Copies of this chain bind each other. A is one copy, B any other.
Amino acid sequence: MRRTLAELAERCQAVLRGDPAWQVDHVSGMDTAGPDSLVFVANESYLDQLSACRAGVVVLSQQYEDRFTGNVLISSNPRLTYTRAAILLHPNDVAAPGCHPTAIVDPGATVHPTASIGAHVVVERGAVVGANSYIGPASYIGRDVSLGADCLLHPRVTVEHRCVIGDRCILHPGVVVGSDGFGYAKDGQHWEKTPQLGRVIVGDDVEIGANTTIDRGALGDTTLGRGVKLDNLIQIAHNVEIGEDTAIAACVGIAGSTRIGKRCTIAGQVGIVGHIEITDDVHVTGATVVSHTIRQPGTYSSGTPLETYQRWLKNAVRMRQLDDMARRLRALEKKITERSRGGTSEES
């Protein structure tokens, strides 16, 4: 959608240096940009390429504004200014309100007249779908689910019975909210399934990535706070609680009853054991295993560094000898110290 630079500056927290009446209609990369393009320089190492860039406007911090001779949107947070401009220039398609004729909406469900229900969707009895929400084809909304306003459910999303989704949530294809937690009692050698009676409560402005799974609570609820962002293929077990504005990258697994604070960032493939607490403002680097409670904000890690296979083989075998090595080192230290003392006594 075509916008003047004046409008973009006003609505995207930026100051315009250039022609306020100039219009752009899309964002683009530096190399493909033309006079209709808005460009953002994600990485300082690309700043040199700006001299050859033909963009209609470039978003820059004040520090670098002189690197481009054309129109510049000067921002103290260029990434945010770019994001807001991209939203304005590329608005989502708005689906027509109403239910596709192939959707099966139970007469006991309540769908807001402005909501849009796609083809082959099933909405069960007692479910509520809020204003302007879109439910993509082949999705399933279980009994007594509450789905807020302005939500965007992509195709093939499953929300099981009684779960609650806030406003402005985005659920990507294959998401499962409200599957049973992994809970059993041992009966001799067999596992007897413990009914999973809780719910999943998802706050406002939450995004959940493709094929991510969130189990319902065993008795209480599994909860995602307002503004939580989950990437793809994440597993959230029963009774986990995740605080507001925490962002979790792909392939992370979080075991049952663990509580994660606010504003945490959890990188990809991290594993977090059950029944622990992670305080606010904790950052965990990729593939780390979080095995115990974290009480201090900060950055945490585990794991071993990348090596060639040949070197790794040699070092890995030593990891099995580490305790032995530590003891032998201690023994050597003692021997040397004793001998030093002995030497001294001989000399005296």
Decide: A182 and B250 in contact? CB cutoff 8 A: yes
Total A residues in contact with B, Cβ cutoff 8 Å: 121
Q: Which residues of chain B are within 8 angstroms of A303 by Cβ–Cβ distance?
A: 289, 302-304, 312, 316
Check if A315 is an interface residue, CB within 8 A of chain B.
yes
Decide: A233 and B231 in contact? CB cutoff 8 A: no
Which one, A15-23, A49-57, A61-69, A292-300, is touching chain B?
A292-300
Knowing A140-B136, A233-B213 are in contact, say whether A315-B323 is a contact too (CB < 8 A): yes
Q: Which residues of chain B are within 8 angstroms of A326 by Cβ–Cβ distance?
A: 318, 321, 325
Which one, A3-11, A109-117, A127-135, A167-175, is touching chain B?
A167-175
Q: Which residues of chain B are within 8 angstroms of A279 by Cβ–Cβ distance?
A: none
Check if A151 is an interface residue, CB within 8 A of chain B.
no
Check if A150 is an interface residue, CB within 8 A of chain B.
no
Nearest neighbor of A249 in chain B, beta-carbon distance: B182
Interface residues of A in 174-197 (CB under 8 A from B): 174, 176, 179-180, 182, 184-187, 189-195, 197
Query: What sequence of 0s and 1s flags, for each residue 64-77 of chain A, a beta carbon within 8 Å of any chain B beta carbon?
Result: 00000000000001
Decide: A308 and B300 in contact? CB cutoff 8 A: yes
Knowing A83-B195, A303-B316 are in contact, say whether A235-B253 is a contact too (CB < 8 A): no
Q: Which residues of chain B are within 8 angstroms of A263 by Cβ–Cβ distance?
A: 189
Decide: B285 and A287 in contact? CB cutoff 8 A: no
Q: Which residues of chain B are within 8 angstroms of A333 by Cβ–Cβ distance?
A: 328, 332
Decide: B312 and A210 in contact? CB cutoff 8 A: no
Report the minimal beta-carbon distance from A158 to chain B, rounded to whole angstroms: 4
Check if A122 is an interface residue, CB within 8 A of chain B.
yes
Query: What sequence of 0s and 1s flags, for each residue 219-240 of chain A, a beta carbon within 8 Å of any chain B beta carbon?
Result: 1100000010101110101000
Check if A44 is an interface residue, CB within 8 A of chain B.
no
Q: How many copies, total?
A: 3
Query: What sequence of 0s and 1s flags, for each residue 304-337 of chain A, a beta carbon within 8 Å of any chain B beta carbon?
Result: 1111111111111111111101101100110110
Knowing A213-B232, A303-B289 are in contact, say whether A319-B321 is a contact too (CB < 8 A): no
Decide: B325 and A329 in contact? CB cutoff 8 A: yes
Check if A146 is an interface residue, CB within 8 A of chain B.
no
Cα A82 to Cα B192 in complex, Å, equals 11
Q: Which residues of chain B are within 8 angstroms of A138 by Cβ–Cβ distance?
A: 120, 122, 138, 140, 156
Partner of A170, one of B77, B193, B207: B193
Decide: B285 and A305 in contact? CB cutoff 8 A: no
Decide: A172 and B180 in contact? CB cutoff 8 A: yes
Decide: B182 and A172 in contact? CB cutoff 8 A: no
Which positions in A face B, CB cutoff 8 Å?
A: 27-29, 77, 79-80, 82-84, 86-87, 90, 100, 102, 104, 118-120, 122, 136-138, 140, 142, 154-156, 158, 160, 170, 172-174, 176, 179-180, 182, 184-187, 189-195, 197, 205, 207, 209-211, 213, 215, 219-220, 227, 229, 231-233, 235, 237, 245, 247, 249-251, 253, 255, 263, 268-269, 271, 273, 283, 285-292, 294, 298-323, 325-326, 328-329, 332-333, 335-336
